[in-house]
Chain A
Amino acid sequence: MKLQIVGCSHHQSSLEVREQLAFSPDQARLALGRLRELYPRSEVVLLSTCNRMELYTASDDPQLCPSHREVVNFLAEFHGLDPVGIFEDLFEHSGEDAVRHLFTVAASLDSMVVGEGQILSQVKQAYDLAKSGNTAGPLTHAVFQAAIRVAKSVARDTAIQQKRVSIPSVAVADFASGVFDSYHDKNVLVVGAGEMAEETLTYLVAEGARHIHVVNRSFDRAEKLAEQFSARAAPWTELSSLLERADIIVSTTGATAPVITLESFQAIERQRAQRNLVLFDLAVPRDVESAVGDCLGVYLYTIDDLQQTCEANRRAREKEWPKAEKIIEDETTRFMVDLNHRATGPTIRRLRSQADDIKNEELTRLLNKLADLDDRSQNEIRRSFDRLVNKMLHPPLETLRDAAKEGPPHGLLEALRDLFKIH
C-alpha cells in the first residue's frame, strides 16, 4: 500500500514556479484523465491553489503507483517544462508523512495565512474532482475524508480560525461589524482603486454590501473596479456629495496629500447629522487627516491600527498552534493504525481462505469415510474442525494486529506468505 504526494507550496517555491505548475480546473481534469491512462491501477487527486500544487497518488500495490521521478516527469511534460529544472522545487512525502501533510494542509496550518478557511473548500473541490473523474479510490477516499474531518475538528476545538489576520478581513470583521449590524442598506464609498480596496470590497460584498460607489482620479480604473463588484463608478468631483451619504469609506489612493481633510469633512458634517461613519484609511501616506477621527460618530482606522490588530490576532492564533498540532498528530496516528490494519487484510483473507480450503478438503474426506454417521455427529465434527482452524490462526493474526499498531508489518506479512505459501 502506498500513498505519495509530490508538489510545491509557498514554503519552498517561488511564485514564478508555482504559476508554472498551477492547474486551472480544466487542466486539472485533463491531467487526471491522462494519469488514469498512464497508471490505471493508481488513485490520483490533484490539489492546485494560488499557494500550492500537490499531486496525491496511491495504490494498494506500491509497484503500480507512479514513482517520485515519474510524477515529476509527468508534471514537466504537462506544463512543457524541463524536469531537471523543477525537480528541486518539488517536495515528496509518502506514508505517514503524506497523511500528516494532508491533514495539516486541510486544517490550514500550512497556509500562508494560518487559519484561513478557504483551503478546506479547495481540498474538498480537489477530492470531488477526483471522484467525478473516477481517479479516487479506497485509499484516497479514506485519507481525504479523514482530512476533512480533522480540519473541522481543528476549527471547532481550537480558536485558530476565529481570529482574522489579513488587513481587509480585520477591517470588516473586527471593526465595521462592531458598528453596523448589516451591510445591505449601507452606503460604501471606495476612494482609489488599489489592490487593498479590491480586497476590502470582496469582504464587504461577501457580508452583503450592495450600495457601493468607487471614486478615483482615473475614472477608467474606477469603472474597472466598480464593474467587478456591480458597483457604480463616480467622477472625482462627486467625492464631497458621496462623503455626505457614506456609512463606510475605504480610502486607498496614492495621493501625497490628504484627500479627506478636517475642513472638507466639517463642510458636510452638518448634513450627516452625526451619523456613524467607519473610515478605513489604507493608504500610505495617509488619505484622511487624523483630526477627522475626533469628529462625532466617526470611527477612523489607519493601516497601522489594522496591522496592530492583525498582529495581536496572529499571536492569539499561535497560542492555539500546539493544540491544533496535537489534534493532527493524534488523528494521523489513528489513521495510520487503521490503514496498516487494512493493509494486512488481503493476506489475512488469503490465509483464512487457504485454511478453509484445507479444512473443507479434510472434512469431506473424513465424512465420506464415516458415511454412517448421523447428522448430529457430523455437525459436531464440522464445528470441531472450525474451532481447530480458528485456534490455529488466532495467535499469528493477533500478532499481526498488534504489529500493525506500530507501523506497516511488512516483515510479518512476508513471513506469513512464505510460511503458509500464500500467493
Chain B
Amino acid sequence: MCDMMVTMIDRIQVFCFVASYGVALLLEGGRVFTRFKPPPAATLVFSIAGFLAQTLFLVAEARRSALHGLPISDWRDWCLLTAWILAAVYIAASWSRPKAALGLFLLPLVLAIIAVGNAFKGVAGPFPREEAPFRWEIVHGLSLSLGTVVVTLGFAAGVMYLIQSYRLKHHLSTAAGVPLPSLEWLQRINEGSFIYSSLLLLGGLVSGVVLNGIRHANQTDAVPWTDPVVWTSGVLFLWLLAAVVFNFVYQPARIGRKVAYLTVASFLFLSLELSIVLLAPSQHATRRSKTQNDWPDMRGSSAVAEVCLTAPPQRFKRAPREVYLDASPSQEATRP
C-alpha cells in the first residue's frame, strides 16, 4: 500500500500542477472576460488541486534527493518552493476574497516562477553542504525565498492598485470588468510587502555573509564579494531600505499610487537579480555536469535525512574544470 502510494507520488510531474494552475487561470479569465461565468469556487478547486500536486511533487523530490545525496536545493527547487509558497498565499487570499479576481494577477506569477525554475534546471547553488553549518543555509534560502514571495505579492498588489486607481479616477464602475479588491486593502498589502520583504532580504543577506565568512575561515570555496548576485542583492536590499525609510519619513509616500509604483519597481529589481543569476557568470549558479548527477549512494549516512533548502551538495571541495559546462574564462578565474 505504502509502496503504491510512493509510486503514485513519484509519477507526479511538473506538468500536473502547471496544468492545474493553468486551468484555474483560464477559469478566472473566463469569469471576468466571458459570458460563461464559472463560479469562483471552480478556480479555487483547480488551484488547490495544483497546490496539492505541487506539494506531493516537492515531497517526492525531497525523498529522491535524499536517496541520492542530493537535497532539494538547486535553483529549480528553490523556484518551485517559492512558487509553492506564493500559490499557498494566493489560495488563502482568494478564500477570504472570493469575488476579487486575484488569480488573474497571482497565478501568472506562480507559473512564471515555475517557468524560471525550469530554466534553472541543473544550476547548482554556491555553498557545498559539507562545509557550511546547515542551519545558516536554511535561514539563507528560506529568507530569500519568502522575500521573493513577498516582493512578488507586493508587485501583484501594486499592479492591481494602479488598475483600480485608474478606473476609479476615470469614473469607471468597479462593478464592471475585472473585480478587484479595494484600494485600502491593496495599500495595506503594498505597505506590508515593503516592510516584510526588507526584513526577509536582510535576513537572507546577513545569513549569506555569515556563510561566506565561515567558508573564508575554513579556507574553502567562498563566494567572492564581487559576485553579481551578492552585489545585486545588496542593491535590492538598499533600495527596499531606502523605500521603507522614505515611507517612514514622508507620509504621503505610504499611501496612494506612490507605494504601488515602489512595489512594482522592487519586483523589477528582483527580476533583474534573477536574470543575473540565470545569465551572468556567478558562483551562486553553476551548471552541473552530467557526471555530477552520479552521486554516491549516501543512504544510511546521517546526512541523508537532512533536507537543505539552498545549498546543493558538491562532490568536490574544489570544483574541477569539467563540472562547469558553461564556465567562461573570467568565471573560472574568480574561483579559487
Contact = CB atoms under 8 A, between A and B. Distances in A.
Nearest to A301: B171
A177 interface: yes
A181 B175 contact: no
Contacts of A177: 174, 182
Contacts, number: 62
Given A273-B252, A274-B255, A309 B173 contact: yes
A94 interface: no
A301 B251 CA distance: 26
B162 to A, nearest CB: 13
A297 interface: yes
B298 interface: no
A359 B185 CA distance: 78
Nearest to B167: A178
Nearest to B183: A179
Interface stretch (A115-123, A167-175, A208-216, A372-380): A167-175
B168 interface: yes
A360 to B, nearest CB: 59
B175 A164 contact: yes
A276 interface: yes
A308 B185 CA distance: 27
Nearest to B257: A296
A305 interface: yes
Nearest to B252: A274
A286 interface: no
B308 to A, nearest CB: 41
A178 B255 contact: no
A313 interface: yes
A299 B166 CA distance: 10
Interface in A267-310: 273-276, 293, 296-297, 299, 301, 305, 308-309
Contacts of B257: 296
A309 B174 CA distance: 10
Contacts of A276: 183-184, 255-256
Interface in B246-279: 251-252, 255-257
Given A308-B171, A309-B173, A181 B184 contact: yes
B290 interface: no
B175 A313 contact: yes
A180 interface: yes
Interface string B72-92: 000000000000000000000
Contacts of B164: 178
Given A273-B255, A276-B256, A174 B173 contact: yes
Interface residues of B, number: 20
A299 B169 contact: yes
Nearest to A316: B176
Given A173-B175, A274-B256, A299 B168 contact: yes
Contacts of A301: 171
Contacts of A381: none
A180 B257 CA distance: 15
Nearest to A293: B169
Given A177-B182, A179-B184, A297-B255, A305 B171 contact: yes
A181 B182 contact: yes
Contacts of A273: 251-252, 255
A177 B173 CA distance: 10
A142 interface: no
Given A179-B168, A274-B255, A299-B168, A174 B175 contact: yes
A312 interface: yes
A181 B182 CA distance: 6
A180 B182 contact: yes
B281 to A, nearest CB: 44
Interface of A: 162-164, 170, 173-175, 177-182, 273-276, 293, 296-297, 299, 301, 305, 308-309, 312-313, 316
12 contacts: A163-B175, A174-B173, A174-B175, A177-B174, A180-B182, A274-B252, A276-B183, A276-B184, A296-B256, A309-B171, A312-B176, A313-B173
Given A276-B183, A299-B168, A316-B176, 8 more contacts: A175-B174, A177-B182, A180-B183, A181-B181, A296-B256, A296-B257, A312-B176, A313-B175
